[in-house]
């Protein structure tokens, strides 16, 4: 199922600008009241960051796209699940983490193809560049991708070898951009433990990268 962000009433230019200035929590309240445009702002605000975060778990572009759709469908179907005990973005990443864990358990994605394999279209043919080239989440020139491709591949290879708890903390901090207090809440761990996992993750990544070919 695809999230439909194009139906419903149209916002004026001024109204759209007003929505952009509102917090996630304010937008969610507007969505609960029937304002579909408010949800569109939430979706566009968080989609790319969540895509990069989930891709770090699943290492499969199509599975990641499906997971992002499922995640936002959960919000659409029951926005009251958010209880405002933390920031909306923190809660959203916690839901994404749990969704990824469920998918990894059910579908055994730990043995999935590497990110450097060209993605496939619906007919089985090669449909575009590897998903690894999308990890940065920004548009860059072909030259930039060529220069950074080797570094990204090595980093992703090392990241896949980290213990789960270290990898999650690293992704939440470096990809999702969350604060350690938020990460601690998501992980259900003390703040000092969360920071220690990040230190271990960085140390282990350096060690693993030294052992990988250039």
Domain boundaries, the chain: 22-110, 142-214
Beta strand spans in the chain (E): none
Question: Over 60: is that where the pLDDT of 147 sits?
Answer: no
State the Cα–Cα distance between residues 152 and 175, nearest whole angstrom: 13
State the Cα–Cα distance between residues 90 and 186, nearest whole angstrom: 7
Average pLDDT on 37-41 reads 92
In 3D space, the residue among 101, 110, 114, 107 whose CA is nearest the CA of residue 168 turns out to be 101
State the Cα–Cα distance between residues 159 and 60, nearest whole angstrom: 15
φ, ψ for residue 126, nearest 5 deg: -75, 120
* Percent of the chain surpassing pLDDT 70: 70
Q: What is the pTM of this model?
A: 0.60
Specify whether domain 142-214 bears CATH 3.40.50.2300: no
Give the CATH number of domain 22-110; options: 3.40.50.720, 1.10.10.60, 3.30.450.90, 1.10.1740.10.
Answer: 1.10.1740.10
Question: Over 90: is that where the pLDDT of 156 sits?
Answer: no
Judge if 22-110 and 142-214 fold alike in CATH terms. no
Cβ contact 130:119 at 8 Å: yes
Q: Is 157 helix (H, G, I), strand (E, B) or coil?
A: helix
State the Cα–Cα distance between residues 72 and 60, nearest whole angstrom: 19
φ, ψ for residue 84, nearest 5 deg: 60, 25
- In the predicted model, what is the mean pLDDT of the chain? 76
Band of pLDDT at residue 50, cut at 50, 70 and 90: very high
φ, ψ for residue 22, nearest 5 deg: -85, 155
The pLDDT tens digits for 89-141 are 989 998 999 898 888 777 653 443 344 444 444 444 545 444 444 444 444 55
């Amino acid at each position: 199922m695809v999230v439909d962000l194009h139906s419903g009433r149209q916002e004026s230019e001024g109204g759209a600008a007003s929505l952009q200035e509102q917090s996630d929590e304010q937008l969610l309240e507007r969505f609960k009241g029937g304002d579909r445009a408010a949800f569109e702002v939430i979706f566009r605000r968080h989609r790319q960051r969540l895509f990069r975060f989930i891709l770090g778990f699943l290492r499969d572009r199509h599975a990641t796209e499906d997971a992002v759709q499922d995640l936002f469908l959960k919000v659409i179907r029951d926005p009251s699940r958010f209880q405002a005990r933390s920031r909306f973005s923190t809660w959203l990443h916690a839901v994404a983490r749990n969704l990824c864990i469920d998918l990894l358990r059910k579908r055994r994605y730990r043995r999935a193809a590497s990110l450097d394999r060209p993605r496939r279209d619906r007919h089985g043919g090669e449909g575009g560049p590897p998903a690894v080239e999308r990890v940065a989440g920004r548009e860059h020139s072909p030259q930039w991708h060529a220069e950074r491709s080797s570094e990204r591949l090595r980093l992703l290879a090392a990241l896949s070898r980290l213990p789960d708890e270290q990898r999650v903390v690293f992704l939440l901090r470096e990809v999702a951009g969350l604060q350690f207090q938020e990460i601690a809440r998501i992980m259900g761990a003390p703040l000092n433990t969360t920071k220690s996992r990040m230190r271990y993750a960085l140390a282990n990544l350096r060690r693993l990268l030294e052992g990988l070919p250039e």
